[in-house]
Amino acid sequence: MAATIKAGAAEVSAATSGLNPYQGPPVGDNVFAKITQNVSRVMEVPKPPRAWYIAFGIALTLLSIFGACLGWVVWEGIGAWGNMVPVAWAFDITNFVFWVGIGHAGTLISAVLFLLRQNWRTAVNRFAEAMTIFAVACAAIFPGIHIGRPWLPYWMFPIPNQMGMWPQFRSPLEWDVFAVGTYATVSVLFWYMGMIPDFATFRDRSTSTIKRAAYGLVAMGWRGSSRQWHRYERAYLLLAALATPLVLSVHSVVSFDFATAQLPGWHTTIFPPYFVAGAIFGGFAMVLVLAVPARQFFGLKYIITIKHIELMAMVILATGMVVGYAYGMEFFIAWYSGSMYEGFTFQNRAFGPYAWAYWTMIFCNVVSPQIFWWKKMRSSPWVAFIVGVIVNVGMWFERFVIIGTSLARDFLPGSWGYFIPTPVDYLTLGGSFGLFFTLFLLFCRYLPMVAMAEVKSIMPEAHVAHGDHH
Amino acid sequence: MSPVDPKKKAPRYWRSVAELEGRLEFQEFMEREFAQPLQELPLDSPERRRFMQIAGASLALAGVTGCRWPEEKILPYSRRPEGLVPGEARHFSTMMELGGAAVGLTVASYDNRPIKVEGNPAHPGSRGGTSMLHQAGILELYDPDRSKAPSRAEGNGRAAATWDAFTAWWKERRAALTSNGGASLRVLAEPSSSPTRAALQQRLKAVFPQMVWVDYCAVDDDNSRVGSTLAFGKPLRAHYAFDKAKVILSLDSDFAVQHPNALAWARDLGRSREPDGGMSRLYAIESTFTHVGSIADHRLALRAELIKAVAVYLDAALSEQLQGAAASGAPQPKPSAAFLEDAYVTKFLSVLVKDLVAAPGKSLIVVGEQQPPEVHALAHRLNTLLGNVGATVSYTEDEPNRARSRENIATLTQAMKAKSVDTLIVLGVNPVYDAPADVGFAEALAGVPHSVQLGLYEDETAKKCAWHLPAAHWLESWGDALAWDGTLSFAQPLIAPLYAGRSSIELLALLADEPKQTGLELLRTTHAGLLGDDRKWRKAIHDGLVAGTKVATVPPALQAIAAVTLSERERAGLELGNGQLELVLRPDDRLYDGRFANNAWLIEMPDTFTKVSWDNVALIAPSTAARLGVEDSTLVKLGVGGRELTIPAVISPGQPDGSIFVQLGWGRTESGVVAGRAADRIPASGVNAYALRSTELYDFGGGLQVTATGEKYLLAGVQDRFVMDAMGQKGISERIGQLMREGTVAEYEKAPDFAKHMVHHPPLLSLWKPVASYDGYKWGMSVDLNKCIGCSACMIACQAENNIPVVGKAAVERGRDMYWLRIDRYYRGTTAAAEVAFQPVTCHHCENAPCEQVCPVGATMHSHEGLNDMVYNRCIGTRYCANNCPYKVRKFNYFNFREDMKDPHNESRKLAYNPEVTIRSRGVMEKCTFCVQRIQKAKIKAKNAGRRVKDGEIKTACEQACPTAAITFGDLNNGDAKVRNEQFHPRSYAMLGELNNLPRLQYLARIRNPNPELA
């Protein structure tokens, strides 16, 4: 069977004209079965590949470090981090914005590309959605833990209470609560709904009672009747339409945390589009980072094809140039504003004590994606993987540069400072990846990694009867 | 614990068989204060340390329960005394003597527990202002590291003792000493103006006619006393009227901070800097930045040793131009000194001479205490020649026949080494720590068989003395002293001694075996003549002073001053090679001679100029540092006369080339948990620069070798403690003029509102409607930048009033200091000619507050009187408000900065808290409230009286402490309010007003009065 898949993959990768990666001659008679078998096999085999164990071990270690860090921060106080006055937000909010940004690509791929009928999305959308959920989970931890009294974040929710307290709705942090909350809810629903037919497949293929019961429960009685398919597709379309504005809103609102502040370097109207572009950029980079090893180790190369990687590389190249433009435009506006403070903030960013962070960001986000102008590079999975990693580093630095350098030197030189992270800062950042990858590896093992039903729907075989007409 | 009477019949209930049987060991057990005897615990064992903690805690707790009346007045409350409202503060007058002069204070006492020190406006030494040291007295009083009981040397360690044991011991000693008339007895004490102490000194002398009284303090005004003797033939004390002077020259003097009468002079100096009423012109020639130099119109940085030649030059030049100069003795010949050939120095001095001559009777020359007597003498001569005597300077008789401390300590040590001293009584001073290094006091002390030290702490000297006796704090004791102008001032105890402390007069009475030995009795005895009448006495104690006891001025008779010889060094050029460098030693503004070192408020207080806290540093001019290869925040080795010291260096603008400045008072090894204590392995804060001091190099001197080690040293500071890059310097220089607006008198006269036009911005619009109309009270503050000398008294006043925590060196280094009020310090230029300016920054209480808009939980809200209120218990700590505050005045509790209060050792420190201000928990934001507790108190009072709050009725803590009266607070709706007039003054401007924050704090622009010829 492996040989067939390989042959199929080769054939598929050759068919790179047009946007449907599966265009061209059918792969074989039993390709639907193969998809089902291959995707389900990860869940069905008694033991996943050794790489999974190694990765899971690392992720779990990082996760426990994360837990220890957060425990320490709750126990001792957030002084365990290096935050201070003037840099009262540092790694904490940088990590938050970074993870929210990562969480962007999922919904974009699922919803926006769905509405735009970009069928190639089907191979990667489940990944991307899972990534979104896990990234939002990572992100949601930071606003809760970064506050001085981390046992009280619920005071930000409009819960009627005996203290007569009510949130203050002029605060962008309050907007964040709703923006991120809505986004997380819709993303989870969208992700879960998309998985229902695949859960049913898992249920049907399960051999053990426990698995059958568990998958049966989450499949919610899916039988695959055409009425169900009809309802399902309607609902999917509706959710996609609901999710689409959220793609724009969530990161726009996150950017308001900064844009509505008075601080030079934050107080910028370009932030909403710039943040959204940056989020898509970083999100796609993360999808690549996850998809390349996954297709390698779980034998899904013929589902997630080179064409997919190439298309994602193109998105990265395009959005990378959008953020590059934004970086330039910030400088222009700072100069054009005529404000001494604005002008200084940007000069200081590029040539002051944090210049190293700024130029790291420029290299990672503007220079490194330029390699994708070469088709050879775009279609090399491991090059894409490396660029994905670099872009993610760059996007983290972008947030740090915006938050840290602006705060470090604001209006009054008397209170300027320089933020130096503590070991707990680094470990918290590293640990958050532990949470992300732990969740992701569990997802790979136990949930349908690829949207089987959707992939099948765009296979040429699905259209055999009508092929000649379209 | 009552002792068990063995004769008593057996108790019905018993604690042990031993008790039942009335055994001796049980009686001993009962009589001992502690279950395990102190002597049995080895000194360095952890058990002992723990024991000391518990012992301290129990004593401290005894203090809690004992919020006591002074013993003399103790009465039970069968009925509430009239005027006493529980929980209401009452204010008592008292005073603190430092440097031999009293500063009158009023102390707020809550439930008989002193919690806040203020200046006594009626007292000539305070005039309402206070210094950091007065403010910090509260924390010192409650310092758990204070000595709690007498102790005596035993073997290699120390054993606990009692006052009774000491009295018994002294009885024996007395007998032995009487036999030789006290010839082998020495009393080493800080010079004091206390009449009671002087009387007791005489009475002790009557008992021991051969006894020698040794005046010694590491900080003294000996040079000026000797200087006036040179000029007038007898020691005269100078009284300056800075407010009447139009041209002031300060020669290496910090008279506005480092002088016993600094508070009064600072106030006068502030008044003379009023640009609306003929502002004075202030020249400063100094060896390091002083507070006076910071507001000078012209400042010349010269090595301390060159100032003598400057004085000689001025004398020569002025004598030429002033009539009648020859009549008062031959003028000094024109000095030939290499540095006087420098074009700028020549220009500076000739312009100065012209200005001085042009203001006869309206000029003033003041010399710093560190300058040698000749310079003082010449200044007295010049002041006389300039016609200033009787106009801007007057004289009173000073204490005659007192030798200089440096000579006294040397003579005493010699006598000790010669074994002619067998009994030494040390009152309060700490010579083992601060005596000049070449004297060898510590070694000599080891050879004195009977030594007694009375001190607030069991310090370096106490550890080396046969007996240590705990001293009562000045807030715990009766006392008297004279203000600088001679006004008789009284100290009354605000609380009974927390520990077994006694005041120095009480100890002297004990030594002299006086019939009456309590402080009150001693005072009444001394003043039986003047204040014998109880009513007069009560009034004096109530007022804290006896009005009209000022010493009469005397007309000075100027004598001829011999030609002053200038050594080769004193005639050298402006640059010096390594090995030839000058070292300047000066007491620290915060720690004085080192006695205040264990005061956390003071030790964490950033230095006025370097902004470094928790360390003393060597200040090096940028040019010198470049030549020597010294980098900022690295350790350097200072070597002079075979003595060495390793100390962190700070490159400091305004420092003259070739001169290294080091503050004394740091590096204590036997002090407490704050400053350092060797026994507990608590490292010393800072380094002890007395190690470099000798009788030769006492104030300053040459021959210093600086060796750069290149080793980095982590300095904690609140402002730019990192090397400022070129980018940052550019940014500062382009904006500083807009933040810290400054103009000259000429500019001000041409356009009084020049400051308002220094920033132009488009019309300002707001998204939000004003939250209130502010038609009731409308609080505002005004800070006069022209008057701020950067003394930082306001910062400690704020800390004391608002329970601001001390965070420790590591947290300061991380930028987590908690000061609600800070003083930003900006240099203009980086050379020796650099200028400095201070800007106190508190919360601006913006009407359109950026912090309020961004708080998601509404923890910071606007009051209807325009206060930006902080609701601590609603704050969850997002810190967004701090990020959005353009003034960065919000401080965050990154940890529980009160964690140390859980240590039972620190129990007594809790008493220092102001009960009217909430203690903030971990994780919440805090900031200046404009002392809202004071506002509320005044409002309640006004409301009960059915009137509005009057202007001046509310003084914020910073305003009240400010010696120069640079801060004004009040109601902007009150047409007569000073703050309103100031905010409507043309000089007033809102810092960063272009952000449309509508701050309620406005600054009065800084005005300088430069000489056009030097501009």
3-state secondary structure of B593: coil
Rounded Cα distance between B335 and B338, Å, is 10
CB contact under 8 A, B876 and A76: no
pLDDT at A20: 55
Give A69 to chain B, closest Cα distance, Å.
15
Percent of all residues in chain A with a pLDDT value above 90, rounded to a whole number: 49
Please name the residues between 753 and 782 in chain B that touch chain A, using a CB distance below 8 Å: 768
Contact B840, B967 (CB under 8 A): yes
CB contact under 8 A, A89 and B879: yes
Q: Is the pLDDT of residue A3 over 50?
A: no
Which among A78, A85, A170 is the nearest to B888, CB-wise? A85
What are phi and psi for residue A52, nearest 5 degrees?
Answer: -65, -45
B794 plus B841 within the same structural domain: yes
B691 plus B742 within the same structural domain: no
Rounded Cα distance between A294 and A172, Å, is 38
Segment among A81-95, A113-127, A429-443, B251-265 with least mean pLDDT = A113-127
Where does the pLDDT of residue A4 fall: very low under 50, low under 70, confident under 90, or very high at 90 and above? Answer: very low
Q: What angle do CA B237, B243, B247 make, to 5 degrees?
A: 90
Set of chain B residues whose Cβ sits within 8 Å of the Cβ of A84: 814-816, 894
Please name the residues between 125 and 154 in chain A that touch chain B, using a CB distance below 8 Å: 146-150, 152-153
A155 touches chain B (CB under 8 A): yes
Contact B368, B535 (CB under 8 A): no
Rounded Cα distance between B877 and B857, Å, is 10
| Mean pLDDT, rounded, for A181-190 | 89
Q: Which of B665, B686, B717 is the last residue of a domain?
A: B717
Looking at the 3D structure of chain B, how many domains does it have?
4
Segment among A27-31, A254-258, B145-149, B465-469 with least mean pLDDT = A27-31
User: Residues with Cβ < 8 Å from B505, sequence gap 6 or more?
Assistant: B194, B196, B197, B200, B478, B479, B519, B522, B523
Please name the residues between 831 and 860 in chain B that touch chain A, using a CB distance below 8 Å: 839, 841, 850, 853-858
Q: What angle do CA B982, B987, B990 make, to 5 degrees?
A: 80
pLDDT at A419: 92
Task: Write down the pTM of the prediction.
Answer: 0.88
pLDDT at A338: 87
Measured between CA atoms, the residue of chain A closest to residue B726 is A352
B605 plus B655 within the same structural domain: yes
Identify which of A137, A401, A430, A180 has the alpha carbon closest to the alpha carbon of residue A278: A401
Over the stretch A375-406, which tens digit does the pLDDT of each residue have? Answer: 999 989 999 999 999 999 999 999 999 999 99
Contact B600, B804 (CB under 8 A): no
Measured between CA atoms, the residue of chain B closest to residue A150 is B876
DSSP B506-548: HHHHHHTT-S--SHHHHHHHHTHHHH-SHHHHHHHHHHTB-TT
B725 touches chain A (CB under 8 A): yes
Give B364 to chain A, closest Cα distance, Å.
34
pLDDT at A110: 77
3-state secondary structure of B669: coil
Residues found in chain A: 470
CB contact under 8 A, B892 and A407: no
Query: Which tokens go with A222?
Result: 């899916």
pLDDT at B426: 95
A410 touches chain B (CB under 8 A): yes
The answer to whether residue B260 is domain-embedded is: yes
The answer to whether residue B555 is domain-embedded is: no
Set of chain B residues whose Cβ sits within 8 Å of the Cβ of A171: 853-856, 880
The answer to whether residue B337 is domain-embedded is: yes
CB contact under 8 A, A147 and B878: yes
Rounded Cα distance between B195 and B199, Å, is 6
Terminal Cα distance for chain A, rounded: 32
Burial class (CB in 10 A: 0-12, 13-18, 19+), B357: middle
Rounded Cα distance between B1 and B23, Å, is 17
CB contact under 8 A, A148 and B875: yes
Q: Is the pLDDT of residue A21 over 90?
A: no
Q: How many beta-carbon contacts under 8 Å exist across A and B? A: 182
B786 plus B737 within the same structural domain: yes
The C-alpha R_g of chain B, in whole angstroms, comes to: 29
CB contact under 8 A, A173 and B890: no
A167 touches chain B (CB under 8 A): yes
B682 plus B592 within the same structural domain: yes
Contact A280, A315 (CB under 8 A): yes
Rounded Cα distance between A71 and A428, Å, is 11
* Residue ranges making up the domain that contains B348: 222-397
B431 plus B378 within the same structural domain: no
Domain boundaries, given as residue ranges, for chain A: 2-158+176-463
Which of residues B410 and A33 earns the better pLDDT score? B410
Rounded Cα distance between B159 and B344, Å, is 63
B349 plus B240 within the same structural domain: yes
Interface test with B, best of A72, A262, A349 (most B CBs within 10 A): A262
Rounded Cα distance between B639 and B1008, Å, is 40
Neighbours of A245 (CB within 10 A): 13
Interface test with A, best of B714, B878, B899, B920 (most A CBs within 10 A): B878
Query: Which tokens go with B929?
Result: 């409230």
DSSP B561-588: -PPPP--TGGG--S---TTSEEEEEEEB
Set of chain B residues whose Cβ sits within 8 Å of the Cβ of A413: 720, 728, 731-732, 735-736, 739, 824, 826
A330 touches chain B (CB under 8 A): no
B603 plus B649 within the same structural domain: yes
Rounded Cα distance between B719 and B610, Å, is 8
Measured between CA atoms, the residue of chain B closest to residue A417 is B720
Going by DSSP bridges, is the β-strand pair B967-971/B779-784 parallel, antiparallel, or unpaired? antiparallel
Give A333 to chain B, closest Cα distance, Å.
17
B208 plus B227 within the same structural domain: no
| Mean pLDDT, rounded, for A292-299 | 81
B747 plus B893 within the same structural domain: yes
Where does the pLDDT of residue A30 fall: very low under 50, low under 70, confident under 90, or very high at 90 and above? Answer: low
Contact B601, B800 (CB under 8 A): yes
Set of chain A residues whose Cβ sits within 8 Å of the Cβ of B790: none
Rounded Cα distance between A387 and B804, Å, is 50
Q: How many helices (H) and strands (E) does chain A have?
A: 19, 0
Rounded Cα distance between B979 and B970, Å, is 6
ipTM (interface pTM): 0.90
The answer to whether residue B940 is domain-embedded is: yes
Please name the residues between 83 and 112 in chain A that touch chain B, using a CB distance below 8 Å: 83-89
B867 plus B912 within the same structural domain: yes
B298-301: strand order across its sheet: B298-301, B281-286, B247-251, B363-367
Regions in chain B scoring below 70 on pLDDT:
1-81, 83, 721-723
Q: Which of B686, B717, B748 is the last residue of a domain?
A: B717
B230 plus B196 within the same structural domain: no
Sign of CA dihedral B736, B742, B746, B750: positive
pLDDT at B933: 95
- Domain of B305, CATH number, reads 3.40.228.10
* Segment B453-456 long-range contacts (CB within 8 Å, at least 24 positions apart): B453/B425, B453/B426, B454/B425, B454/B426, B454/B427, B454/B428, B454/B502, B454/B504, B454/B507, B455/B147, B455/B426, B455/B428, B455/B430, B456/B140, B456/B146, B456/B147, B456/B428, B456/B501, B456/B595
User: Residues with Cβ < 8 Å from B340, sequence gap 6 or more?
Assistant: B309, B313, B346, B349
CB contact under 8 A, A148 and B839: no
Q: Which of B669, B686, B717 is the last residue of a domain?
A: B717
Set of chain B residues whose Cβ sits within 8 Å of the Cβ of A174: 856
The C-alpha R_g of chain A, in whole angstroms, comes to: 23
